[in-house]
Structure 1
């Protein structure tokens, strides 16, 4: 990638340094084409429903990735098409977390899709990162609510108005905290991406 070297992302370990925030929004075509994390690190990809998290992960993440949307798609393929998702959502969530647990047992780097409203998941991942001697990182896709709603319509899978409001509130709180350098407990770094920066990233990988 001439002129666009990979951007290594390092957060704090033990007592070393404060968390790092890298804001790649509004870079006018100057965003890096790759992010490189440590071999034992965990990366949480978060943002509004419809912001493009699954598309981004499928395209850019090189390594183990755990996406709740994949679990939903597998269950939907086996069940009657007209069966409402709300009826089998608990089974999808259990399957997703079971798959995440298996991925974490490998000991290698893992990228995880996060809906943003389940803060206990990030706490779990932070503990796991510390246990394995790695760092937890956030990749936060910052898009407008209108863009996210358009993304839901495009994929044909929306969330309820109430659920979307909850996601908006949780994502807004997280974004404001990250912008002032106040990262969730156990998180070593955060990278803020708008749609252009996310599209520019061709590779998210782990060393080793």
Structure 2
């Protein structure tokens, strides 16, 4: 079990294909065809794939960079709306660059929410295998960029610097498989059962 204060924004991030969507599906009973966020009690589960499905087939004329931007803006809008409504949010986002994370931190502060990172750390070869299994493979140059940013973020967190998040938790695939729940219960910090590494 992992605990966060009620009303927090938790961003689940990792390399493309690391297993983020699979983890959310298992923990929250998602079936993988959702095109809108899913409420689980007081928690809003927001996967970027939901926004992608929402726009599937709607912008056939648009170049890929524009479609990607529209999907990301939709994803951010859904997160903002949930935070504005006072909901706890667990959201999947594959991007972990500094500007993206600062944007999430700003969004959380704007709505009086704590911002936490949950990092799913999978080796590159397993992440690539995960991409192939799902039928969507990231271009090598794009994946290499994700790898560089990911390595930098993980190194900073392991050195005790989760900024711009209030806290960051790293789990590998084996540890993620043991995770039974993510709880938002008003406690003062991010607590674990001891099996996971945590920086606060």
TM-score of the superposition, structure 1-length normalised?
0.74
Query: Is 1:112 equivalent to 2:91 in the alignment?
Result: yes
Q: Does the CA-based 8 Å contact 1:66-1:100 persist in structure 2?
A: yes
1:168 to 147, 150, 173: 147
Query: Is 1:74 equivalent to 2:41 in the alignment?
Result: no
2:19 to 22, 28, 52: 52
- Provide the C-alpha distance between the structure 2 equivalents of 1:203 and 1:84, rounded to a whole number of angstroms: 39
Q: Which secondary structure state, in structure 1, belongs to the residue aligned with residue 74 of structure 2?
A: helix
The offset of 1:73, in angstroms, is: 2.0
1:139 to 100, 118, 125: 118
2:162 to 183, 190, 202: 183
- Provide the C-alpha distance between the structure 1 equivalents of 2:109 and 2:93, rounded to a whole number of angstroms: 19
- Provide the C-alpha distance between the structure 2 equivalents of 1:65 and 1:122, rounded to a whole number of angstroms: 18
- Provide the C-alpha distance between the structure 1 equivalents of 2:72 and 2:111, rounded to a whole number of angstroms: 25
| Alignment partner, residue 157 of structure 1 | 136
- Provide the C-alpha distance between the structure 2 equivalents of 1:183 and 1:36, rounded to a whole number of angstroms: 17
Q: Which secondary structure state, in structure 2, belongs to the residue aligned with residue 152 of structure 1?
A: helix
Cα RMSD (Å)? 2.2
Q: Which runs of 5+ in 2 are unaligned?
A: 29-39, 187-200
Q: Which runs of 5+ in 1 are unaligned?
A: 1-33
| Alignment partner, residue 35 of structure 1 | 2
**Residues 127 and 70 from structure 1, CA distance in 2 versus in 1: closer, same or farther, beyond 3 angstroms?**
same
Any idea what the Cα deviations from partners look like across 1:93-122, whole Å, max 9, x if unmatched? 222122222122112211121223443332
Query: Is 1:202 equivalent to 2:180 in the alignment?
Result: yes
Any idea what the Cα deviations from partners look like across 1:44-103, whole Å, max 9, x if unmatched? 1111000011111222255212221111122225566xx975562222122212222212
- Provide the C-alpha distance between the structure 2 equivalents of 1:51 and 1:152, rounded to a whole number of angstroms: 8
Aligned residues: 172
TM-score of the superposition, structure 2-length normalised?
0.77
Q: Which secondary structure state, in structure 2, belongs to the residue aligned with residue 48 of structure 1?
A: coil
